[in-house]
């Protein structure tokens, strides 16, 4: 009988401990207010002004593509897509440029009119106008952000590791509800990034385009 009790104890006790630990983690997550979470994330943003690594992008049509990225807050990011994808996306802090090397085309968008601006900010401010929801789970901290006056129905969902607040993924939903997700990995933080990676001459590109249209 004593042997049976010992065997039951060896099986039951680890399960009980696991449940208690999980419950404790849930309580801890629940005890963290949205304001506290945003404050901690904002501090982390300020502490990590630069990062580089690899990314995997999931498009609304189900296609996947990847490459390398370079990020420098505030406002600057570059995505180099793997071949055969000829696209590179560059934000210089004011303008987001989409360059198709194969077609030799450039498209420009004001950064402050896209939800990408919120990802590239040097801090996150807890504001009812921009922060739509904050969720603390044991495996992920998630913040949904947007601005009806600027982005309309578009929004960005930022996902962080709950332990160190490192950025893991973001999803941008456009005004039509289509979602594009980007997962980052093999990330190096606080590294020197050449300034040239974020540069493009928008004025010269537009002038060449205009000259081509006139010919």
Residue 16 has pLDDT above 50, yes or no: no
190 in the same domain as 85: yes
| Contact present, 130 and 136 (Cβ < 8 Å) | no
What total number of domains does the chain contain?
A: 2
75 in the same domain as 1: no
Of the chain, the percentage scoring pLDDT greater than 90 comes to 61
Confidence at residue 4, expressed as pLDDT on a 0 to 100 scale: 42
| Contact present, 157 and 143 (Cβ < 8 Å) | yes
Q: Which domain holds residue 204?
A: 33-214
Q: Which helix (H) or strand (E) holds 66?
A: strand 64-72
Confidence at residue 28, expressed as pLDDT on a 0 to 100 scale: 42
Residue 191 has pLDDT above 80, yes or no: yes
Give the CATH number, domain containing residue 178.
2.50.20.10
Span 137-168, pLDDT tens digits: 999 999 999 988 888 889 999 999 999 999 99
pTM here? 0.81
């Amino acid at each position: 009988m004593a042997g049976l009790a010992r065997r039951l104890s060896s099986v039951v006790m680890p399960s009980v401990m696991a449940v208690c630990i999980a419950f404790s983690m849930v309580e801890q997550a629940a005890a963290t207010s949205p304001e506290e979470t945003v404050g901690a994330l904002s501090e982390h943003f300020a502490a990590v002004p630069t990062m580089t690594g690899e990314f995997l992008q999931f498009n609304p049509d189900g296609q996947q593509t990847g490459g390398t990225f370079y990020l420098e807050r505030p406002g600057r990011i570059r995505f180099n897509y793997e071949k055969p994808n000829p696209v590179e996306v560059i934000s210089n802090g004011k303008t987001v440029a989409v360059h198709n090397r194969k077609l030799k085309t450039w498209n420009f968008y004001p950064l402050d009119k896209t939800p990408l601006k919120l990802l590239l900010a040097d801090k996150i401010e807890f504001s009812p106008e921009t922060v739509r929801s904050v969720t603390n789970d044991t495996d992920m901290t998630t913040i949904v952000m947007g601005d009806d006056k600027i982005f309309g129905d578009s929004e960005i969902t930022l996902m962080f590791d709950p332990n160190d607040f490192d950025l893991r993924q973001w999803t941008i939903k456009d005004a039509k509800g289509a979602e594009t997700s980007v997962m980052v990995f093999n990330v190096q933080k606080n590294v020197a990034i050449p300034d040239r990676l974020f540069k493009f001459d928008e004025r010269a590109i537009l002038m060449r385009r205009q000259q081509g249209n006139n010919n």
